[in-house]
Amino acid sequence: MVPDIDLAWRRGIRPEPPIPVSDWADRHRILPPTSAEPGRWRTDRTPYLRAVMDALSTSSPYERVVLMKGAQTGGSEAGLNWLGYIIQNAPGIAMLVMPSLDMVRRNTTVRIDPLIEATPALRDLVSAPRSRDAGNSLFRKSFSGGQLVMTGANSAVGLRSTPVRYLFLDEVDGYPGDADGEGDPVDLAIQRTSTFRGRRKIYMVSTPTLKGHSRIEAAFLDSDQRYFHVPCQHCGEMAPIMWARIRWPEGQRDAAYLVCDACGGVHHEHDKPRLLAAGEWRPTALGDGRTAGFHLSSLYSPWETWAEIAQEHARVAKDPARLQVWVNTKLGESWEDQAGDTVPADPVMARREDWGSDLAPGVAVLTAGVDVQGDRIEVQIVGWGRDEEAWVIDYRVLWGDPSGPRLWSDLDGVLNGTWGDLPVRAVAVDTGGHHTKMAYEFCRTRLARRVWAIKGRGGPGIPVWPRRPTRTNKGKIPLFIVGVDAVKDAVYARLKLTEPGPGAIHFPRRLDADYFRQLTAERVVTRFEKGRPIRSWQPKREGERNEALDTFVYAHAALHGLISMGMRLNEEVEGRVGVPVQPMRTAIRSAWMG
């Protein structure tokens, strides 16, 4: 026992070896079999990450490292390398913050535990998992000289639990605006590092979201704003890889290539490894002197080709909701808010169509949204086609008393109907308002028909459909929390589309003016709390009804519930016998253009 204590004491006072994080990773990190490329870590595979990791080394002068990135670039893996470096090389208290506690649980199982188990240099340093051992759990990993504490940005208790020297803030743009009413989760977490000012390290990494509301973009703008420049193989000119420099032959996005702005030289995908190996980070601003900021798009990724990114752009370019995702995740850039302006009802109403039957051509899947009021139930049936093009198939107001069985029987009759030859595949019933118990009971007995109890929740970072439901009514009924702000953003951006196609919304002639007033009854409002912009959806006028909007939002959420179960919408369209999807475009376009 005494030698063990002596060893721990000697290790605690030993100076931290001046090894950079990237060197540690190259020497020790082993990627688990579940990784895309299992085996020894090689920084040369992603040379742009070397400077990011080394800025996190204890010998680096920077206190804060910011990475605003696209998907598939390795930013989170760089953070895992840093955690391994801390455990073996510079022990102390570290905190990893993810958007939610559920994501912490999944991340521990999928990434943290494999990091430790697959890397021999770490395996014997972290407490072995044992029953009832708080030193190795989903939220805590103890090692000689320190701990890794993991918490969600939605937990104020976790964020103010202990002083920390090292802080890893992962996917910060997915954090809620407020943690349990105690303030901004990023501010709460950073306050935990104040004891170690001058020795602390803070790593912020995320794909950005909306311009003016993106935490990662704000942090990047405070930094020295570095971009990774690569040399032209023809003239030697150094420049970042940007979307404006990606070209392709007419109609051949699968042959996309990179062009040099200086000399017009062409670089193909197979040239990418050489370009990255010869690249270097160059700052474009002075910053505050303590923050190293890095911007990295997916165009640099060794796991995604320029052709794949260009082809995805072609699929989403006309749909603002999906184009935003592409801009955020592929270019690593924030998105100008397309839903902030008011959408007037009259121009949307003017686009009503006659499609000659209950079921519009092009529809492959039906979903429904249900809203319960004190004296009625309102239900909207929405049909979905290729690339989430939508048709409002039916809208009904069922008058009566929702506290009794008759009205719910009437609702069941509507949901059991068919339009053309299609049944309703999924239903989202709002349980957050009137007659919650009756709504729960209605859903409980119809789960096999995918009649889901949902509750809408506003705020940033809440997905349209959750990965898993919560449980209510003593665990008997799954309750799905729907990110209504994300859906409203998509709906209002799509209401501005004036031609049929991906994301467009079609309305039948029989809908009246009241429906369109309700559909367009809200607007985005930005207020500031403690200096941070808080974005929310509010009625245009006090007391204005919005059930048409709410039920459309719920029907949209139900579609995403089906997608989460493995349904592929475009394959459903292609599987419809006798529905010529492409030829009918001309007829639909004529109806829209009048």
E runs forming strands in 80-181: 93-98, 140-143, 146-152, 166-170
Q: Is the same domain home to 275 and 372? A: no
Does 297 lie in the same domain as 157? yes
Q: Which residues pair with 423 in a beta bridge?
A: 418
Structural domain contains residue 226 = yes
| pTM, to two decimals | 0.81
Look at residue 339 and tell me if it is in a domain.
Answer: no
CA proximity to 326, closest of 213, 208, 497, 245: 208
Look up the domain containing 377 and give its range: 345-586
| Domain end point (choices 280, 300, 331) | 331
Q: What is the CATH number of the domain that holds 388?
A: 3.30.420
Last residue within a domain, chosen from 269, 298, 331: 331
Tokens 């670089």: give the residue.
267
In a domain, 593, yes or no: no
- 149 within domain boundaries: yes
Note the pLDDT of residue 583: 39
Residues 486 and 541 in one domain: yes
Would 591 be classed as within a structural domain?
no
pLDDT of residue 131: 44
Burial class of residue 73 in the structure, from the number of CB atoms within 10 Å of its CB (0-12 exposed, 13-18 middle, 19+ buried): buried
Beta strand 238-240 with 226-231: parallel, antiparallel or unpaired? antiparallel
Whether 323 and 361 share a structural domain: no
Q: Are 206 and 329 in contact (CB under 8 A)?
A: no
> Are 99 and 152 in a shared domain?
yes
Q: Do 448 and 544 sit in the same domain of this protein?
A: yes
Radius of gyration of the chain from its Cα atoms, rounded to whole angstroms = 27
Is there a single domain that holds both residue 277 and residue 423? no
Residues 6+ apart with CB under 8 A from 463: 483, 486
Distance in angstroms (rounded) separating the CA atoms of residues 222 and 165: 21
Q: Give the end of a domain, one of 288, 306, 331.
A: 331
DSSP assignment of 501-533: STT-EE-BTT--HHHHHHHT-EEEEEEEETTEE
CA dihedral 556, 367, 560, 481 (to 10 degrees): 70
Take residue 466 and report the two structure tokens written for it.
Answer: 């959750």
Cα–Cα dist 218/200, whole Å: 20
Same domain assignment for residues 286 and 411 = no
Beta bridge partners of 57: none
Tell me the pLDDT of the chain (594 aa) as tens digits.
445 556 555 555 555 567 999 999 999 999 999 888 899 999 999 999 999 999 999 999 999 999 999 999 999 999 999 999 999 999 999 999 999 888 999 999 999 999 999 999 999 898 776 645 566 788 899 998 999 999 999 888 888 778 999 999 999 999 888 777 778 899 999 999 998 988 999 999 999 998 888 999 999 999 999 999 999 999 999 999 999 999 999 999 999 999 999 999 999 999 999 999 999 999 999 988 899 999 999 999 999 999 999 999 999 999 988 999 999 999 999 988 765 567 899 999 999 999 888 888 899 999 999 999 999 999 999 999 999 999 999 999 999 999 999 999 999 999 999 998 999 999 999 998 788 999 999 999 999 999 999 999 887 778 899 888 887 766 678 999 999 998 999 999 999 998 999 999 999 999 999 999 999 999 887 776 656 677 788 888 887 899 999 999 999 999 999 999 999 999 999 987 444 444 334 333 433 433
Instruction: Based on the fold, state whether residues 490 and 513 are members of the same structural domain.
Output: yes
In a domain, 84, yes or no: yes
CATH number of the domain enclosing 89: 3.40.50.300
Q: What is the pLDDT of residue 352?
A: 95
Helical spans, DSSP H, in 136-230: 156-159, 185-191, 215-221
320 and 401, same domain (yes or no): no
The amino acid sitting at 122 is L
Query: Contact at 8 Å (CB) between 557 and 432?
Result: no
Q: Is residue 547 part of a domain?
A: yes
SS3 87: helix
Q: How far apart are CA 170 and CA 150, in angstroms?
A: 11
Residue matched to tokens 């302006």: 341
Q: Are residues 354 and 231 in the same domain?
A: no
> Mapping DSSP to helix (H, G, I), strand (E, B) and coil, where does residue 381 land?
strand
With tokens 């340093």, the residue in question is 125
In whole angstroms, what is the distance from residue 219 CA to residue 21 CA?
22
Q: What's the pLDDT at 512?
A: 95
Residues 366 and 317 in one domain: no
- Residues composing the chain: 594
Q: What one-character-per-residue DSSP string does 450-491 give?
A: TEEEEEEE-STT--SS-SS-EEETTTTEEEEEEEHHHHHHHH
Pairwise CA distance, residues 215 & 71, whole Å:
17
How many domains would you assign to the chain? 2
Give me the residues paired with residue 367 across strands: 382, 426
Inside any domain, residue 340: no
